Amino acid sequence: MATTDPGQAPESGARPFAVPCVRLDQRAPLRWLRAGWRDYRRAPGLSLLFGGVVLVVSLLISALAWSLGRFALLAALVSGFVFVAPLLGVGLYCVSRELEAGRQPRLNDSFVLARRVVGQAGVFALAQGIVLMLWSRAGMMVNALVPIERGDFATWAEFLLIGSAAGSVFAALTFAIAAFSLPMIADRDVDMVTAGVSSVNAVLRNKLVALQWAGWIVLLTALGFLTGFVGLVLVMPWLAYATWHGYRETLDASAWPRLD
């Protein structure tokens, strides 16, 4: 079970810089997945609708990139999806939020909430876009500075090792910021900086649990891609609902007013 981290308790009458978090046990990700699956089953219509949007966007990106054969176009389209994805995520978090409150989720509620947090979601998307560009530049630098000689296994191994190390830094940063921040801005009247810092803090205090959760995300997302994107209709809403429950279990945002 999760235990409260006493070092994160806010002082009376004052909000901490980072939202208080709890210490999680290793079974936490499985609890989140089970809770997310329950939400999917309780709201199948909205889940399939949002999942269908993810499927269509993914197919359009792939089809355009394949037909035109330009990596630059693919990068631009993926970057655009980075800006759309947070709003889709907020819409899905709204479904779990309404179910948790004992209300029947409606599509209109997701639109209303998305409009309310569009500014903060835009800040999140901008930050992720910057990380994406830096990640791409780092890859180009590795490609330029680490030469590969044909037939030389050692140079290939060196290139893959350095490239993977550089990529893992950006992947870890992206995951730490995104892990719990978006559900929080969909639930509380909080700025994106506070939400992002709180997410990073919670990940650092629960490293092994966060690593396991990242592994589940990668595994399920990969399965979604391996099914020709069709599996994303199931996987993406499921992961979004599970992420909501992860946020609710990990962060104590009671000092911030709820969004109505």
* pLDDT value, residue 6: 40
Could you tell me which residue, 116 or 244, shows the higher pLDDT? 244
Mean pLDDT of the chain: 81
Could you tell me which residue, 236 or 67, shows the higher pLDDT? 236
% of the chain surpassing 70 pLDDT? 77
Residue 84 pLDDT > 70, yes or no? no
Could you tell me which residue, 65 or 205, shows the higher pLDDT? 205
Residue 78 pLDDT > 60, yes or no? no
Q: What integer is the mean pLDDT of 57-77?
A: 65
Q: What integer is the mean pLDDT of 165-171?
A: 75
Are the C-beta atoms of 224 and 235 separated by less than 8 Å?
Answer: yes
* pLDDT value, residue 88: 80
* pLDDT value, residue 161: 76
